[in-house]
Structure 1
Amino acid sequence: MKNLFLGTAALALTASFAMADTVRLGTEGAYPPYNFINDAGEVDGFERELGDELCARAELTCEWVTNEWDSIIPNLLSGNYDTIIAGMSITDEREEVVDFTQGYTRPSPSAYAAMADGVDLKGGVIAAQATTIQSSHVAETGATLVEFPTPDETVAAVSAGEADAVLADKDFLIPIVDSTELKFVGEDVFLGGGIGMAFRESDAELRGKFDAAIASMKADGSLNALLAKWEIEGQF
């Protein structure tokens, strides 16, 4: 699903996880159905359920931390939390600075949504969330890219006529298209290598615990059941 690494690679990796400590799970809290803040002010969504189950299987005590998307990797590297579980697509660029678990989804489609058919997706103005694989793809197509800090702002730009279309994860756009005047246009686009949890390169042991927990959920079918519950494509 989402999204490219921003360009702040060379932070000092001074924070290292101690296995006796509480594991802090970093997420955005603004990308339903993967993660969002519910009416009680708590992290909710597919990744909340997934993260809690993975922590239980790995026999780890965990707590949730929210962070804005555009600084989510730098704040992992600086030690503000121990892992990212935030709809983050596995990409070669990100793997230069963080280590990923295996994917807990297969690569799922991104899609364009617009107010009307006939939008020029190659030469028009396309909105995308900043530092995502979608924004990188738009830049490569030759269209005029307009970036916004949050996914909701990309949709608002199209509704307000500031952009011709938005490119985002289809899972994110489906409920919006179902409830607004926006419609899907063009072909689906498959980007990235699936979604995984990201860790500091120094935390191989912790990453291994979560990797094993993901593998166990794949093996017993519970991961596919959770993906189906949240109507997320990319099942195994």
Structure 2
Amino acid sequence: MKTLILTTAAAALFASGAFAQDVVRMGTEGAYPPYNFINDDGEVDGFERKLGDALCARAELTCEWVTNDWDSIIPNLLSGNYDTIIAGMSITDERDKTIDFTQDYYPPTESAYAALSDSVDVETGVVAAQTGTIQAGYVAGTAAELVEFATLDDTISAVKNGEADAVFADSDALVPFVEEQDFVWVGEGVPLGGGIGIGLRESDTELKEKFNAAITSMKEDGSLNALLVEYFGDAVTTY
């Protein structure tokens, strides 16, 4: 596991479930554009960075951003290394057994297959997906051979170098590879998950209420829709 990267100092903030000076450590992956990524200045950036900062401002909280590898992002939330997960994480019944979620801030959407040729057989071929995602779980239940990788970029590289025939991921995350590289859509989209929400420890009910109220206010005044269009284009599903 990579060492946790703190964008600002956040020592001694977590103690017995209390938030010192209303500081909330926002855990993200930093490797799933346009949801979240690390920019040229080494800072967390993307849709979820801008959204998270806006939500914290409305909830009168101070955000501090932490990055963590996807495959250990839930265990490190539970261990107290940060206070939320805001990392393109779909709300699922299985995850809800371990952590809690706010309401969705990104509507339920489709996952999709992309490959270097539209003749690829995604039903029985080799399909790459990111480890620990609902996409990996879906492929595992099909006749295709699943190969898992740590990041979205790794799944793309696997297709390019011939380790996999196709990649299966959130359709919005694959758009840049289809529009700017040699990838093409293959087959039909697959609806998965119940939208994307902020993950929290089940004990942090007060924090959940604050974020839910902030998300609701952004839905009501249209600012969340504006962010969705800014990062995902006019075709994105909005509230």
TM-score (norm: length of structure 1): 0.92
- Are residue 114 (structure 1) and residue 106 (structure 2) matched? no
Cα distance change on mapping 1:19 and 1:102 into 2, 3 Å: farther
Shifted more, 116-125 versus 126-135: the winner is 116-125
1:19, CA displacement in angstroms? Answer: 5.8
The aligned amino acid for 2:174 is L
Match of 1:8 in 2: none
Moved more, 105-114 or 76-85: 105-114
Matches within 5 A, 1:198-217: 198-217=199-218
Aligned residue number for residue 32 of structure 2: 31
Note if 1:89 corresponds to 2:116: no
49-58 vs 17-26, which moves further: 17-26
SS at match of 1:187: strand
Q: Which runs of structure 2 are paired with 1:58-97 in the superposition (5 Å)?
A: 58-97=59-98
Segment drifting more, 225-234 vs 134-143: 225-234
1:137 and 2:138 equivalent? yes
The number of aligned residues is 223
**Residues 196-215 of structure 1, C-alpha deviations (whole Å, 9 max, x = no match):** 00000110001110010000
Whether the 8 Å contact between 1:17 and 1:82 is mirrored in structure 2 is no
Q: Contact conserved, 1:15 with 1:79, CA < 8 A, in 2?
A: no
Aligned-pair distance for 1:80? 0.3
After superposition, give the CA deviation of every residue in 1:129-166 in whole Å (9 maximum; x if it has no partner). 00100000101112100000111010111111111100
Q: CA deviation at 1:46?
A: 0.3
The residue aligned with 2:5 is: none
Structure-2 separation of matches of 1:205 and 1:154: 38
Residue type of the alignment partner of 2:96? E
Q: Secondary structure at the match of 2:120?
A: coil
Partner amino acid for 1:230?
Y
Q: Distance in 2 between matches of 1:70 and 1:145?
A: 16
Residue equivalent to 2:51: 50
Cα shift at 1:85: 0.4
SS in 2 for 1:93: helix
User: Who is 2:170 aligned against?
Assistant: 169
Runs of 4 or more above 3 Å deviation: none
Aligned AA for 1:235? T
SS state at 2:190 partner: strand
Deviation at 1:16, TM superposition (A): 1.6
SS at match of 1:147: strand
Q: Secondary structure at the match of 2:105?
A: coil
User: What is residue 6 of structure 2 aligned with on the other side?
Assistant: none
Task: In structure 1, list runs of 5 or more residues that go unmatched.
Answer: 1-13
Report the 3-state secondary structure (helix = DSSP H, G, I; strand = E; otherwise coil) of the residue aligned with 2:106. Answer: coil
1:235 aligns with 2:238: yes
What is the distance in 1 between the residues matched to 2:199 and 2:237?
Answer: 19
Amino acid at match of 2:237: G
Larger relative strand fraction: 2
Contact 1:116–1:182 (Cα < 8 Å) also in 2: yes
Tell whether the 8 Å contact from 1:27 to 1:65 is kept in structure 2 after alignment: yes
- Calculate percent identity across the aligned residue pairs: 66
Is 1:100 the equivalent of 2:98?
no
2:155 partner SS: helix
Amino acid at match of 1:48: R
Q: Does the aligned pair in 2 maintain the 1:15–1:78 contact within 8 Å? A: no
User: Given the alignment of the two structures, is residue 182 of structure 1 paired with residue 183 of structure 2, yes or no?
Assistant: yes
Cα deviations across residues 65-123 of structure 1 (Å, max 9, x unaligned)? Answer: 00000000000000000001000000000000111000001111111001112211111
Which residue of 1 is the match for residue 197 of structure 2? 196
How far 1:61 sits from its partner (Å)? 1.2
RMSD: 1.2
Q: Look up the equivalent residue of 2:27 and give its one-letter code.
A: G
